Chain A
């Protein structure tokens, strides 16, 4: 049972409507970049749409008398080389530019998204064939294809934009396919299949909803690229010369750059603004839709740690925690924990998810997740106060006195390096040994954690070993600097029962031979009974009961501990053998009170009785 970071585990009590589409738009407008870029884009689109109203005259109306004339009343941007109004051409040109971009996007979406969906969801031959074609298209140099297509079909912007759409469609294909391959393996898709949904419906309901946000983000990015490419083509004179577009305006202005350099300014500005706004819009969308950024600022306020309110009882020499509180923002997840571990003692810290047991362990190790901090209390290790210690000193302590064995052995090994090198490196750095010495020590450690063939395992990569073996390797790593205190966070939860029993045996033998103090975080009362001398039971951030294991398990004083023990099924009786249902089979939904098949009635009282008998 992994204890997830409390921030994400906490159900959002803010209400229901926060996540739906309206929420996304609102969040986008609250994002500073999102607001600015949306405003610019809206202004540009509006201006372009209202071109007939806003522009002083038609885009083609020219009077040679006015060629190169400066701004004047009714013509705020002046006139171009042919005496046409610049503002009118800018607005109408924007229409053509943006429609071209929309056309390219539409083509790219129409080709890329459905193909990506099918390829990702179905896999197999269609996937292989379409991926091959897509790779081919991606290998084509876009400019050359665009030039060639112009030569073949003639100089119209629209055809060029269709070709551009085809050329960028692989981006959509690959994005969608990649996501869908991931979604296809999700359990909820399996559940939908079992529910009798057709593939079409599953794609429509479960898959599209996941690819929606990334597609929108990619659209904004591709639109920016398309604007740039199109302008570039027009600027080179490859578009249709007669249609006003921003690129065509740039082209004309460039021809007259000696005479009227100012003419470059307006189309350049329009292009630059549009492009920048699109890119920033995409970035803001990504922040908003993927819940990144703008959430927790890295700015960390140094709030002083309060001293413990009371330091009760004798403090253990090895590890002693008094009145420890851990907060995330203003929320306390650990609220005044007292805990002692002496040398040679195994102390269990049990609790359910969200009880704060892992947070307690993390704060002793100084590895609280982002946003969490020790807000009160005292933690001493070998008599030294470690709350408020600088990160560097804490790190020294971790390698030297305290060792840590995590829950997920596999994700704590780097897949790119061999087991041996992952053991040798820290040993060399920490103990200053030569390579050969460190290697000998690593092999010895592997032997100590009862790995049968240390030489072979030394040269293996993490994916070549089992989970149990990986946990042994991590325990070997933890032992490398001869620690006095071992903190193990659910060390066997991810393992098979048989492997768990072996790893527990190993921990016991290591602890005995080295006289280690161990703090064992677990949710499993069986593991506690198997390994621990004393146990502390945590609930809602507090230690509700602490004592010798036999006493806590047999004579729990706290009602929560009792509730926990009552839920243990070890001594629950096996279910009675099955008896045929009283009436005809195959007619579900028959709540017959006479049918004394209700297993709750027959089992529950007996069970609680039993467990009490056993417990007392």
Chain B
């Protein structure tokens, strides 16, 4: 089956700081693809460029070279008008549920925004908002309230509802649960899985947390310093990684088990960190 999203040899760089400073290369030839209804996890440390991939796909940062195709059509370097039309297909859930909702708009206004932008009538949009709130398991009266009346997990549900508003085919999830508490994180992940089962939406799931990525993704790509260092089925990459960076990433994350964590720590210190005594 043809991939829904195909990124080939993507390069992105930002202007350096200071006058005539060289450009900083953030992505150095990244290729990946996402099939319909599939979740591809993208995992990497801070500064690895994982967020930039998402932003490039969303058209929020300019692409220097390489191509991004969606359903067989190039979507890099689109005109603003055609980019806006693409909102129907590609949506986003950001990391921070506190800054990704406008504090002075009601939840209902935020949710109806993409609908109105796609030319739906106001009455139609209102009805759809009620359906969306129900789908993300928020009370119907949430529509009239402001973001600050909600907890982080509830706000993230609002962000999910906004992404779902116009039935996209792909949602870029940029660290959607890393700002949430452990138990909230689990319920939000379950909600995302449930929505995928119902609608067949594909996710590009970006996270620094290998455990979360393993739980969510069919396939996993590991990014390090702007390059994909390993890709494969989730089970393979997250339990028997071939790449040394992936291995160290796996070993670095502490697990909630004293004995096994001690073994992992010793392995990490043997393989990766060499403590300066």
Contacts and interface: CB of A to CB of B under 8 A. Distances in A.
A575 B217 contact: yes
A210 B45 CA distance: 34
Given A209-B102, A352-B181, A526-B261, A505 B269 contact: yes
A553 B256 contact: yes
Interface stretch (B8-16, B36-44, B121-129): B36-44
A461 B104 CA distance: 37
Interface residues of B, number: 104
B36 to A, nearest CB: 4
Contacts of B273: 501-502, 505
Contact of A599 (B55, B150, B196): B196
A12 B150 CA distance: 9
B146 interface: yes
Contacts of B85: 196
A529 B87 contact: no
A496 B44 CA distance: 9
B65 interface: no
Given A352-B182, A497-B249, A498-B248, A197 B84 contact: yes
Given A193-B60, A500-B252, A502-B273, A353 B87 contact: no
B211 interface: yes
B182 A570 contact: no
Interface string A535-578: 00000000000000110011000000001111111111111111
B43 to A, nearest CB: 10
A1 B95 CA distance: 12
Given A186-B99, A553-B256, A588 B45 contact: no
A588 B159 contact: no
B24 interface: no
Given A16-B145, A496-B46, A590-B200, A581 B117 contact: no
A353 B182 contact: no
Contact of B117 (A197, A524, A525): A197
B34 to A, nearest CB: 10
B233 A523 contact: no
A566 B186 CA distance: 9
Contacts of B59: 193-194
17 contacts: A190-B60, A194-B59, A195-B114, A196-B84, A353-B152, A450-B276, A467-B46, A498-B272, A500-B254, A501-B251, A528-B256, A549-B258, A563-B183, A569-B186, A576-B218, A577-B218, A590-B200
Given A205-B105, A450-B276, A598-B194, 6 more contacts: A188-B102, A193-B59, A197-B114, A352-B182, A452-B276, A581-B37
Interface of A: 1, 11-13, 16, 19, 186-188, 190-199, 201, 205-206, 209-210, 352-353, 450, 452, 467, 496-498, 500-502, 504-505, 509, 523-530, 549-550, 553-554, 563-578, 580-581, 585-591, 597-600, 603-604, 614
Q: Give me the 4 closest cross-chain CB pairs, A-B, nearest first.
A: A196-B87, A526-B254, A525-B256, A195-B114
